[in-house]
Amino acid sequence: MTHCALKPVKTTTQWDIFCCVVDNYGDIGVTWRLAKQLTKEYQINITLWVDDLNSFSHILPPLDPSLNSQKHDGVRINLWSEPLPVNYNAADVVIEAFACNLPNAVVQAMHAQHEAHKQDTSVPKAPVWLNLEYLSAESWVEGCHGLPSMQNNGLKKYFYFPGFTGNTGGLICEKDTLDQRNVWQSNLDFRHQLFNKLGLNNIDDNDTVISVFSYETSALLRLCKLWMQSDNRIHALIPKGRSLNSLQSLLPCAINDLKVGQQVVHGNLTIHILPMTDQQSYDQLLWSCDVNIVRGEDSFLRAQWAGKPFVWHIYPQEDDYHLVKLAAFMDSYCDNLSPQASNIYRSLNIAFNKEQADTAAQEWQNLDLIQPEMSLHAQQWPIYILNDADLASRLVQFVKNS
């Protein structure tokens, strides 16, 4: 047998994505979405290594947290435990999400391949190693996106920064998302069916429906008190989770004792306790509401793709750094708005995040003044900001170029 005959012949591309769940659902939410898209749109073999399957199962209910390995939506999902439960073979591309530290076995396998390639260039090169960073609209991102960092062992790691401009890594949005949303929003039957599925059977078409997926803030309680006194009926759809911590004074029992499907009525406000759903149903919920209150990174983007007005509760960071990131996004989002709309929308978002409850309530009322402009802007924004190049397509190109 010749030396060449021993070499593995690869027919498909294998990418491994490593995700460490820090807290909440954002780390797994982003990596799961990307994994699904790369599988479906680029036919890449993806293995998603996740260190916390229990958290993952909240946004992927069919996932069985007791299994070390399983497949959903074409993606191989492996429990990432230390040491890795299998002998690791280097993939073609290795993505560490949000600077999670890769397992030693992975780094060693990449390094071994790097050394083997140096000896014999017909052996495949070391995998393309990327660190997928958090999303930010700050201007420095353009300068850092795609930079390589030379590691002590001779490997190169690239920093891949998502972002809102052409010189960044782009934004996660599947190719059919906006078309699917348009179909959904053009026929009220879809909304009715979803609401029925979620047990929301007393919502009239003229009622205002607001989805709420935030962290704790006194601004939310203040808004609920405002909504109670509204002239029309308002429905706040709230999954069991952190938002409710701010609303304890409005609830009939401890949060743990609330039942999914339970409704709490105060004046013209009905609070509906929702289950956590899979990502697709959550998208459909965002498409169906009049306003969405979202948070973090992934629901923040999905609210933009929903084409509806939204309030962003940004993930809090040390020294209030998140307020810098919030301002950077507001600069971008409000760039083409009239001064009045820009002022009201910025002020509402800042007040919500800084727990300036009365200002948030005042600016919420002011939304009425700018409603047509904000609705149009919310529709136009996704097309403008995606600029025909979502994150997955830019990522695939980036890997080809490396």
Q: Does 134 bind ligand TRH (CB under 6 A)?
A: yes
**Which of the residues 27, 96, 133, 174 is marked catalytic?**
27
Q: Does 287 bind ligand TRH (CB under 6 A)?
A: no
To ligand TRH, the closest distance from the beta carbon of 285 in angstroms equals 7
Active site residue 27: yes
Binding mask 235-254 for ligand TRH (x = CB under 6 A): ----x---------------
Q: Does 325 bind ligand TRH (CB under 6 A)?
A: no
Q: Does 133 bind ligand TRH (CB under 6 A)?
A: no
d(CA 71, CA 91) in angstroms, rounded, equals: 18
Helix (H) / strand (E) containing 165? none
To ligand TRH, the closest distance from the beta carbon of 89 in angstroms equals 29
Pick the stretch among 78-86, 155-163, 291-299, 379-387 that binds ligand TRH (CB under 6 A). Answer: 291-299
Q: Are 307 and 185 within 8 A, CB to CB? A: yes
Q: Which of 103, 162, 169, 296 binds ligand TRH (CB under 6 A)?
A: 296
Q: Which of 51, 297, 363, 390 binds ligand TRH (CB under 6 A)?
A: 297
Residues 6+ apart with CB under 8 A from 54: 65
Tell me which residue of 371, 369, 330 sits closest to 347, measured CA to CA.
Answer: 330
Residue nearest to ligand TRH (CB): 26
Q: Does 73 bind ligand TRH (CB under 6 A)?
A: no
Q: Mutual orientation of helices 279-288 and 177-185 as an angle, nearest 10°?
A: 50
Q: Does 26 bind ligand TRH (CB under 6 A)?
A: yes
Q: Are 268 and 231 within 8 A, CB to CB? A: yes
d(CA 354, CA 366) in angstroms, rounded, equals: 18
Q: Does 161 bind ligand TRH (CB under 6 A)?
A: no
Select 144 or 276, whichever has its Cβ closest to ligand TRH. 276
Q: Does 96 bind ligand TRH (CB under 6 A)?
A: no
Q: Does 315 bind ligand TRH (CB under 6 A)?
A: yes
Helix (H) / strand (E) containing 307? none
To ligand TRH, the closest distance from the beta carbon of 68 in angstroms equals 23
Q: Does 22 bind ligand TRH (CB under 6 A)?
A: yes
Select 91 or 212, whichever has its Cβ closest to ligand TRH. 212
Q: Are 61 and 367 within 8 A, CB to CB? A: no
d(CA 173, CA 164) in angstroms, rounded, equals: 12
Side-by-side strand order, sheet with 234-239: 263-266, 269-274, 234-239, 208-212, 291-295, 310-313
Number of H helices, E strands in the chain: 13, 14
CA 247 to chain centre: 24
Q: Which of 136, 279, 353, 356 binds ligand TRH (CB under 6 A)?
A: 279
d(CA 54, CA 80) in angstroms, rounded, equals: 12
d(CA 276, CA 402) in angstroms, rounded, equals: 39
Q: Does 51 bind ligand TRH (CB under 6 A)?
A: no
- 65 DSSP assignment: T
Q: Does 276 bind ligand TRH (CB under 6 A)?
A: yes
Q: Are 129 and 292 within 8 A, CB to CB? A: no
Of residues 162-221, those binding ligand TRH (CB under 6 A): 213
**Which of the residues 283, 297, 298, 390 is marked catalytic?**
297
Continuous H helices in 270-320: 279-288, 298-305
Active site residue 297: yes
To ligand TRH, the closest distance from the beta carbon of 382 in angstroms equals 17
Pick the stretch among 110-118, 156-164, 273-281, 333-341 that binds ligand TRH (CB under 6 A). Answer: 273-281
Binding site for ligand TRH (CB under 6 A): 22-27, 29, 59, 134, 213, 239, 276-279, 282, 295-300, 315
Task: Give the residue numbers annotated as catalytic, written as ranges.
Answer: 27, 297
